[in-house]
Structure 1
Amino acid sequence: MQIKLSALLVLAMAGQPAAQAAPDLEAGKRAFATCASCHQVGRSARAGFGPHLHGVFGRKAGTTADFHYSPAMKNASIVWTEQTLAAFLKSPGDVVPGNKMRFWGMTSDEKIANLLAYLRSVQ
C-alpha cells in the first residue's frame, strides 16, 4: 500500500510544473548589453538609435516623445507588460509586423525573464 501511494504521489507531481527560479538581475544586465547599443535605461535615459526604455512597463507602444517610430509601432495597440515585452523580445516581427527595430529575437525564455527583471530594476 505504501508503495502504491508513493507511486501515485510521484505520478501526480510529474504533471506539475517545476518552480521557476527567480530571475537573475546580473544575467539580465549582461543581456541588456546587446540592447544598450540602441536603448538607454534609467531616469536620465534619452532616445538614441532606439527609444529609451525608462518607464516602459505600462506604456503604450510607440509613444515616447523623443523618438521617431515606424507607422507600425505607432499604430500598434500594445501596452508594454511583462507578457507583451516577452513576446516582442522573442519575435518582434510577429508581434508588430513592419516595426523598424533591427533585432531578430531572443530564443531563451530564461534570458528574456532575466532581461525583464533587470529592466524593472532600473525603472
Structure 2
Amino acid sequence: MSLETNKAFAAVLTAGITFMVAGLVGGLAVSPHRLEKPAIATGEVVEAAAPAAAPALEPIAPLLANASLENGRGIATRVCAACHSFNEGGRNAVGPNLYGVVGGPHAHRDDFNYSAGMKGLHDKTWDYEALNAFLNKPAAAVPGTRMAFAGLNQAQQRADVITYLRSLSANPVPLP
C-alpha cells in the first residue's frame, strides 16, 4: 500500500475514535434526570366503543307529495350534472345517464362500468326509499361505490331531486 492510502485509512480511523470518545465523554458529563412517573398521564387504555348507529333516515314518501319538480331540476343541474346526464338515450359521463333510474335496477345501464358495490345490488330496485338513502349518503347506502358525492343532508332537497328523477321516464313510477 502507498503512504497516501495509509494516511486516508488513518484519518477515517482517527475520526471514528474521536467521535466515539466524544460521545462517551458527553454521556458522562450530561446525565439526564429520569422521571419517576410520566409527565403526561394518558390513563388506562380503554377499548373503543362501537360507533353509535346513525339516526334513522326519515321516510321520504310524505315529502314527495309536496316536492317541487323545478327545485329538483335546479338541484340536479347544479349538483349532479357535472357527472350525470338526464336525457333519454343520453351518454354516460363520469356517472351513468339517469334517465329511467327510478323504478329501475341498481346498475341500470348495461353500457356503464359500475363499482362492485353497485353491481352487487343489481337485483334491487331504485325505489323512493333506496334513492333517499343513496342521495343522503351514497357511500353508506352502497358500500364500495365510486361516487365521491357527499350527499344531500336536507330531506326536502332529496325529495325534490327524487321527484325530478321520477319525471325522467316515459312511464313514471306512481308516487307512494
The TM-score range, normalised by the shorter chain, is 0.7 to 0.9
Answer whether contact 2:68 2:163 (CA < 8 A) is retained.
Answer: yes
Counterpart code for 1:95: A
CA RMSD of the aligned region, Å?
1.6
* Structure 1 unpaired stretches of 5+: 1-18
Identity within the alignment, %? 36
Extract unaligned runs of 5+ from structure 2: 1-61, 170-176
Instruction: Provide the TM-score with structure 1 as the length reference.
Output: 0.78
Name the residue aligned to 1:9: none
Instruction: Work out which of the two has the higher radius of gyration on C-alpha atoms and give 1 or 2.
Output: 2
AA matched with 1:47: N
Match of 1:57 in 2: 102
Q: Distance in 1 between matches of 2:124 and 2:134?
A: 10
Mapping of residues 3-42 of structure 1, within 5 Å: 22-33=66-77, 34-42=79-87
Output the CA distance in 2 between the equivalents of 1:117 and 1:58.
12
CA contact (8 A) 1:63 1:74 kept: no
Q: Which residue pairs with 2:147 in the alignment? A: 101
Runs of 4+ displaced beyond 2 Å: none
Scaled by the length of structure 2, the TM-score of the pair is 0.56
Q: CA deviation at 1:66?
A: 1.4
Structure 1 contact 62–73 (Cα < 8 Å) conserved: yes
